[in-house]
Amino acid sequence: MVGRPYWSGQLKLSLVSFGIQLYPAINTRSGVTFHQIDRETGQRIHHANVVDHDEAVDNSQIVKGYEYAKGKYLVVEPEELAKLRIPSKNVIEIRQFVDLSELSPALFEKPYFVRPDARESMEAFAVVRKSMEDKNKVAIGEIAFGGREHLIAIAVPPEKSAKGMMAYTLRYADELRSAEDYFEDLPDFRAQHIDKKQIAMANELVNAYSEPFEYAAFKDDYEQALHELIDAKRKNAPLPVEEEKPRPTRAIHLMDALRQSVNQAKRPSAAKKTSARGAAKKGPALVKPEKSRHRAA
């Protein structure tokens, strides 16, 4: 069971339209969460809704307000927001098709699964999907949910076994900072003279480290470290601490560093042993717990 969709509406391409449903493709993190507590009493801190002079306000009396001048607000009621006339609340109109390579990774926000609405014919969904797959194109449109309108890209998943489609909310152009503000003082690296031998050696090193992406091999080590810390505190065991930062080594000439790196990459057995040792050392080290200190009464 996939549950209720996050968004339901029409996907429209000129005079062709059909119902689709969007489902979040990201799991809500169920990891370690913290609350604010009073160090002295150990009790949880609660934040109250108050106005001036600490006068409490009931949740039913809280509405949105737009500050049009210093300290002056226009009240906007929930029903007024619900009645906003935004076509993309119910219909995603495909404005254009683009190649995936035209979309910068910096534009992408959140992924969603796209299913055809089972209440309607799936024929149009199948035809449009097949055409997009054949042409290797991504559909661009706009969608409104969560209190704002989003630019959205709809694409056929790269996995051949996937039957539906994917949608990705995108950032608008004015949401991104200009790269020139951060790069304008840098030299043009393409115009610089670069040693061809160094480039050849760097290419060899990149080839040695190139392999299929093992997505499942990457885990959240910070989350694991938090679990170990909490587990140690509950058991009154030695607390984990961060490993010492590596000491700076003497500078190595770039060509020598490239050559040594390539030679090391060519020794798979040695590389695996090094990786295994690194995995064994990975994670926080344990230290003896400090003696408890009691406050003076």
Residue type for position 159: E
* pLDDT for 69: 93
Nearest to 90 by CA among 17, 172, 157: 17
Q: Is 126 helix (H, G, I), strand (E, B) or coil?
A: helix
Cβ-based neighbour number of residue 198 at 10 Å? 13
Q: Report, as an integer, the average pLDDT of 70-74.
A: 92
% of the chain beyond a pLDDT of 70:
87
8 Å CB contact between 140 and 99: no
* pLDDT for 293: 42
8 has pLDDT over 90: yes
Q: Which residue has the tokens 């709809």?
A: 154
Tell me which of 134-143, 254-263, 280-289 is least confident.
280-289
Nearest to 4 by CA among 18, 24, 26: 24
Q: Report, as an integer, the average pLDDT of 4-29.
A: 92
The vertex-74 CA angle with 72 and 77, nearest 5°, equals: 145
Tell me which of 21-30, 117-126, 159-168, 264-273 is least confident.
264-273
What 8-state DSSP symbol labels residue 294? P
**pLDDT digits 0-9 by tens, 97-116:** 999 999 999 999 999 999 99
* pLDDT for 239: 82
Q: How far is CA 150 from CA 113, 139, 146, 184, in A?
A: 16, 14, 9, 30
Per-position DSSP letters for 193-258, written without gaps between them:
---HHHHHHHHHHHHHH-----GGG---HHHHHHHHHHHHHHTTPPEEEPPPPPPPPPP--HHHHH
238 in the Ramachandran plot: left (φ > 0), alpha (ψ -120 to 50) or beta? beta
Q: What share of residues in the chain are helix, strand, coil (percent, to 5)?
A: 35, 25, 40
Cα separation, 87 vs 76, whole angstroms: 20
The pTM for the full model equals 0.75
Long-range contacts of 36-39 (CB under 8 A, 24+ apart): none
The full length of the chain comes to: 297
* pLDDT for 297: 34
* pLDDT for 277: 41
In CATH terms, 7-26+84-175 corresponds, of 3.20.20.70, 3.30.565.10, 3.90.1150.10, 2.40.290.10, to: 2.40.290.10
Cα separation, 144 vs 159, whole angstroms: 28
Residue type for position 7: W
Q: What are phi and psi of 278, to 5 degrees?
A: -65, -40
Domain boundaries, the chain: 7-26+84-175, 196-209+218-244+251-287
